[in-house]
A and B are shown apart, each in its own frame.
Chain A
């Protein structure tokens, strides 16, 4: 016994918890890549006015449909060319990152709050609460997201706020399902019983005993739903019912470029690639965070 205590103590003394965490984060290539790309995109979104060099709304009908820099006849003024109204494509792409990121962030925040509250309540209290929440989840799952979003946006009119709210109120189902099942797994473990027997309040048990043990599942769902919301916004904008022109949104840019798709494929390829990279980075970040925070991996 004395020997094991000593050896464990040695292991404990060696690296600090922060050093261990740092090592594990930087050892996970997917996570590093996700963080790096997402950080670049966030920086771009924040610094868009400095980086763009052009007003994304300024039309120049003389310089319409300029090709990007790798094609012949490109204009060094417009690195990624111009669209059908002569607006600088690079500036619109950079400002579009703001739209996509804020939609993803706020939609995931709203739906996360709703879904987590419902899922945790259902999982922890069980019984009738669980019945009601499960029923609501089933009702929600029976609704086709895109059609409902289309209908609501069509009634209320498209704008950034409306799209965020609609997506936030529609995407909570996965939060609720995942949190309910994770809490169900955790709530009967003995440390929860121990906390109850010790005399902890229900609030303390949920927030400090249960939540820390299910939060890695929550992180994965947050990132999935962020990516989901960003793609749905793009889809809604593409269909003309999301963010309204002339706001520079990546989905809207694809939509506006689709008439010229056969002749000028870069018009949709550029915002398409941007969407792809952003969604990929968010998903890698979520996967990596889940791996790094899982307690069974703690060294």
Chain B
């Protein structure tokens, strides 16, 4: 669990990312707020699960953390020190990515050895012999046989490829690993192996994960804290056990209800969400969630929701604002 006395190892302070979307030749581009002021704190050895529907800004957040996108405003702090885009290369040693699709995240022209050694080569760490040693240790760590070293990605299965991607992410001894849906492209049987591997590695190496997923079961399995995103905002954040036991935000409640159960007698759960995800270029006024909210009130349609801090997390919702309680 997070220790509130130590500073967070990774902190996002009111990060926004706005894209200009062109809508035709003569109309002016309109802003799309992919991230509308996200603040998150991740403590050492925590696993922050980030959940939300497709298009809610999860991947944009990962790209900002990885330095692939420059935030429009706000700060990214590692160990309390602000990281500017120019210091990206230093930051890269400490924050490493694991991507969603292991079929496209490994360069098909490179051998497995070259792929895993790439971070070391890019940062000029060690000589050829020490790099080869590190690569071999990583293979052991992620449970791949040494014989795949000279092979190419297309000779491996999806699960093995994802193990290679994990080895590449860990070869630099990073503190933080950004996992962007690391299991969603894998078979169900392989998913659990990769998740267990990630869990074991966290224990062994003291890693901190930002774990992005739309699969709540996966998040419940691995995360210590959970943040729920909706339209570029974190609407609820709480320790995992607390959030799954008692979701406070109506959106979180709907998400948890939407989890499919293996019981064939139950039909597809009704989440009251409807099918339509709002247009992110023209988000609804007030609380962005109000058109789909089961507990909508008049105030939700006009006023943005307050930031209600709880004992362990926060929720952005009128329902939990002080007078309503």
Q: Which residues of A contact B (CB under 8 A)?
A: 1, 4-6, 8-9, 11-13, 17, 189-191, 193-201, 204, 209, 212-213, 295-296, 298
Query: B154–A190 contact, CB under 8 A?
Result: no
The answer, yes or no, to whether B144 is at the interface (CB within 8 Å) is: yes
**Contact A190-B119, Cβ < 8 Å, known A197-B68, A209-B107:** no
Contact of B152 among A5, A189, A298 (CB under 8 A): A298
New A-B pairs, 19, CB < 8 Å, besides A195-B107, A295-B109:
A1-B190, A8-B151, A8-B155, A9-B145, A12-B147, A12-B151, A190-B99, A190-B100, A191-B104, A193-B99, A194-B168, A197-B92, A197-B96, A199-B91, A199-B122, A212-B107, A213-B107, A213-B108, A213-B109
Tell me the bound Cα distance from A9 to B112 in angstroms.
Answer: 13
**Contact A198-B119, Cβ < 8 Å, known A8-B156, A190-B105, A298-B154:** yes
Residues of chain A with a CB closer than 8 A to B157's CB: 4, 8
Residues of chain B with a CB closer than 8 A to A11's CB: 155
Query: A195–B160 contact, CB under 8 A?
Result: no
Tell me the bound Cα distance from A199 to B122 in angstroms.
Answer: 7
Query: A17–B150 contact, CB under 8 A?
Result: yes
| A-B residue pairs in contact (CB < 8 Å), sample of 15 | A8-B155, A9-B145, A12-B151, A190-B99, A193-B97, A194-B165, A195-B122, A197-B67, A197-B178, A198-B119, A200-B118, A201-B122, A204-B122, A213-B108, A296-B154
Query: A295–B96 contact, CB under 8 A?
Result: no
Query: B122–A198 contact, CB under 8 A?
Result: yes
Query: B68–A12 contact, CB under 8 A?
Result: no
Query: B89–A199 contact, CB under 8 A?
Result: yes
Query: B160–A4 contact, CB under 8 A?
Result: yes
Residues of chain B with a CB closer than 8 A to A196's CB: 66-68
Give the shortest distance, in Å, between B158 (CB) and chain A (any CB): 10
Residues of chain A with a CB closer than 8 A to B100's CB: 190
The answer, yes or no, to whether B227 is at the interface (CB within 8 Å) is: no
Most buried by B among A189, A197, A298: A197
Tell me the bound Cα distance from A200 to B122 in angstroms.
Answer: 5
Query: B148–A12 contact, CB under 8 A?
Result: yes
Query: A1–B150 contact, CB under 8 A?
Result: no
Residues of chain A with a CB closer than 8 A to B155's CB: 8, 11-12
Contact of B109 among A5, A9, A212 (CB under 8 A): A212
Contact of A194 among B105, B109, B147 (CB under 8 A): B105
The answer, yes or no, to whether B106 is at the interface (CB within 8 Å) is: yes
Query: B109–A197 contact, CB under 8 A?
Result: no
The answer, yes or no, to whether B88 is at the interface (CB within 8 Å) is: yes
Residues of chain B with a CB closer than 8 A to A1's CB: 159, 190, 193
